[in-house]
Amino acid sequence: MGREPLNHVSTLRLLVGFALAAAVWIGSLAQLSPYSGLALGCLLAVVGARPFARGFMSSLAAGRADADMLVIFGVWAALAQATAAVFFSELLLPGARRPFFEVLGALVVFPALGRWSEARLTERGGEALWTLARRIPRTVRMESAGSEAMVPVVEASVGDRFRVMPGEYFPLDGRVAEGRSRVDESLWTGKASAIEKSSGSRVFGGSLNKSGALLVEVSRTSTQTRLARIVETVRSGLRAKAVVRGVADQIAASYAPGILIVAVIAALAWSWKGPEPRLERALTTLMHVLVAAVPWTLPLAVPAALAAGLRRARRMGLVVRNPAVLQVLATPDIIVVGKTGLLTEGRPEVASVRTFGGRTEAEVLALAYAAGFGAGHPYAEAVVRRAGAGTAASSIETHPGHGILARVGGREVLFGALPWLMENGVAFDGAPEADAAEGPDPRVGLSVDGVLAGVFILRDPVRPTAADDVATFARLGLEVVIVSGDSRASVEAVAAAVGVGRVYAGVLEEGKARVVAELQASGKRVAMLGEGFLDAPALSRADLGIAFEASGAPRRGSSDFDPSGFDLAAESADLVVRRRDLAGLLDAVRLAMRIRGVVRENLSLAFAPQIFILPIAAGVLGPSFGLVYHPSFSAVAAALSAAAITVNSIRRLRL
């Protein structure tokens, strides 16, 4: 709608508007020259109401009405009344020949204060996303014919070679052609431990080179890197949420045109059938209706509810990252959750180990320890705990969502999901234990030099409270859907135990955004719970994105970028939950629904006074009861409305 972002300019404009309004009010009380008051009033209307004028023009161009239209109608009517009172007082009724400068000031300042307060509360929490994008180097140290030159990253092509020195971030995806170093890939893995990289190892843009210089061959250009695709997907999701119209605008879409029609009809009625002087009465009525129609407390309705909601959220252990979505969110139809750690205990154990190719269990466990140590995935950690100890890998290459490629004692070890091992040409030789679709228990495999060496069958018990929590969601009208990267048999076994009817199995993190989009395309409103870097696109796309709070997240407002503490999932979500269970998720959804309800109640309280004031402003009660509109009526009604909004927000959102 053309609204300005919250920054020092909008804050400065608010302060200037306050100063001009104060000058207008003081001048009115001190009975200074009406020409001076009118000059200040014009300046106030131009400077203070500029954001609303821009929003009004944008909405007009789009062919719709909104809350900005209400403000502009009122400001223009008050300015017209003041101008007529100063230069053409004979065109107004005797009671309206005093310029309503104080009304003009209120019509500019109160909406501006409300808009500023709402912007402060609903400002997106995605600054770290933009910080992340800025931290990706814009130039690359390209090597060609034995010489180096710094060139823009966008000029790099697949097959080119660039050098990354210790302490520098990788600008592009590629494979190490020369050198050895330890690389911090915590942006992708969530673990702060650095990973050994050597010739042939894959590296991702956004990772941090820690120790030695590396010569890297480009495998993806700047716009095709994994990080660039994820950042752009998250940005698209945030932009889509940013343009959602607020509840106040939705109500004003019908209210504003209706008020304009009422004002014109009232003026025409008085000019046709009213007593003399008809013209003066018609003009006065037109301006009174437009001024009285503006709900002064409308800009306070949403900030009051959000402020109370944010206070309650903090006490409940929730962090609201995007309060703006709470005022427009309808009750979700579906909530998308993962399996491990939410419906299950989240600490799987190795139930059994199957070995192949003549290898012993101890040997397979030692290789798995070397590959999986520090990986961070619950399944890898379970195998590492079972192994207890093992040899160190000379290099480790993490494939997020799939598995790990490590070099241990000169051998190439793949440790991860069985389908991923198949994709990399591992020979299974018909081993039934390697069938990912067989049995309800999750399985991970390990291969050595392209030959299957072992399969680990894990057990992760279902949470005792999971079935009751799923039933509670169902009573609220929310369908729980499981999206997991595990096999269908494993996911369906958990779903049957907790009472979930719909599952998406074998879906990696990148595919979750596609699942969310499919559900939305079917007309469903989707809430999603996620965590980790690769869940960020799906969280930003969901109607309500909910993330678990990551330990070690960077302090808010810190200018230093720390990839080990960066949590893009939390940055992309609307709510962040500290309790890692369905009960915490249930609290988050209930709070979101409660805040939305209070917003709507507050909007009703903001519009309620107009039911009583508009008939007076239109002159309907004048002939019978002698009631003639005066700005003090709107002021009293606004004070009562503001008190009601404040009390309602505190009462409905208290603990």
Domain ranges in the chain are 131-235, 306-344+462-593, 349-459
Most confident segment among 105-114, 288-297, 515-524, 525-534: 515-524
329 — pLDDT class (breaks 50, 70, 90): low
The residue-averaged pLDDT of 543-549 equals 82
Q: Over 70: is that where the pLDDT of 334 sits?
A: yes
In this predicted structure, what is the pLDDT of residue 496? Answer: 93
567 — pLDDT class (breaks 50, 70, 90): low
Following DSSP, what letter does each residue of 449-510 receive, concatenated? TTEEEEEEEEE-PBPTTHHHHHHHHHHTT-EEEEE-SS-HHHHHHHHHHHT--EEE-S--HH
**Dist. CA 67–CA 303, nearest whole Å:** 15
Q: Over 90: is that where the pLDDT of 500 sits?
A: yes
Assign 183 to helix, strand or coil. strand
1 — pLDDT class (breaks 50, 70, 90): very low
Q: Over 60: is that where the pLDDT of 626 sits?
A: yes
Q: Which helix (H) or strand (E) holds 599?
A: helix 582-617
In this predicted structure, what is the pLDDT of residue 515? Answer: 92
Following DSSP, what letter does each residue of 352-380 receive, concatenated? EEEE-TT--HHHHHHHHHHHHTT---HHH
CB atoms under 10 Å from CB of 12, counted, come to 10
The residue-averaged pLDDT of 543-563 equals 55
Q: Which two tokens stand for residue 61?
A: 């161009």
**Dist. CA 455–CA 605, nearest whole Å:** 64
Q: What is the dihedral of CA 554, 557, 562, 563, to 10 degrees?
A: 70
The residue-averaged pLDDT of 543-565 equals 54
Q: Over 70: is that where the pLDDT of 437 sits?
A: no
Q: Over 70: is that where the pLDDT of 26 sits?
A: yes
Between 2 and 406, name the one with better pLDDT. 406
Report whether 644 contacts 605 (CB < 8 A).
yes
Strand arrangement of the beta sheet that strand 161-164 belongs to: 147-152, 139-144, 161-164, 214-218, 174-178, 202-203
Over residues 120-166, the pLDDT tens digits come to 665 554 555 565 666 678 889 998 877 888 899 988 999 999 999 98
Q: What percent of the chain has pLDDT over 70?
A: 84
In this predicted structure, what is the pLDDT of residue 6? Answer: 42
Range from 208-212, 430-434, 619-623 carrying the lowest mean pLDDT:
430-434
**Dist. CA 84–CA 62, nearest whole Å:** 32
Residue 153 is which amino acid? V
Per-residue exposure over 334-354, b if at least 16 CB sit within 10 Å of its own CB, e if not: bbbbbbbbbbbbbebebeebb
330 — pLDDT class (breaks 50, 70, 90): low
In this predicted structure, what is the pLDDT of residue 132? Answer: 62
Assigned CATH topology for domain 306-344+462-593: Rossmann fold (3.40.50)
Phi, psi of 652 (to 5 degrees): -80, -20
CA angle centred on 401, ends 345 and 124, rounded to 5°: 85
336 — pLDDT class (breaks 50, 70, 90): very high
Strands (E) located in 283-338: 318-320, 334-337
The residue-averaged pLDDT of 201-207 equals 85
Following DSSP, what letter does each residue of 244-289 receive, concatenated? PPPHHHHHHHHHHHHHHHHHHHHHHHHHHHSPSSHHHHHHHHHHHH
In this predicted structure, what is the pLDDT of residue 552? Answer: 42
Q: Over 70: is that where the pLDDT of 76 sits?
A: yes
In this predicted structure, what is the pLDDT of residue 495? Answer: 93
The residue-averaged pLDDT of 467-494 equals 88
Homologous superfamily in CATH for domain 349-459: Calcium-transporting ATPase, cytoplasmic domain N (3.40.1110.10)
- Give the bridge partners for 502, in sequence order: 481
Q: Which two tokens stand for residue 464?
A: 């005792």
pTM of the model: 0.68
9 — pLDDT class (breaks 50, 70, 90): very low
In this predicted structure, what is the pLDDT of residue 403? Answer: 86
Q: Which two tokens stand for residue 440?
A: 């309800």
Range from 58-67, 232-241, 399-408, 593-602 carrying the lowest mean pLDDT:
232-241
Average pLDDT, the chain: 80
Give domain 131-235's CATH number out of 3.90.1530.10, 2.40.30.30, 2.70.150.10, 3.30.505.10: 2.70.150.10
Q: Over 70: is that where the pLDDT of 529 sits?
A: yes
In this predicted structure, what is the pLDDT of residue 448? Answer: 92
Q: What percent of the chain has pLDDT over 90?
A: 11
Q: Over 60: is that where the pLDDT of 556 sits?
A: no
7 — pLDDT class (breaks 50, 70, 90): very low
Q: Over 50: is that where the pLDDT of 568 sits?
A: yes
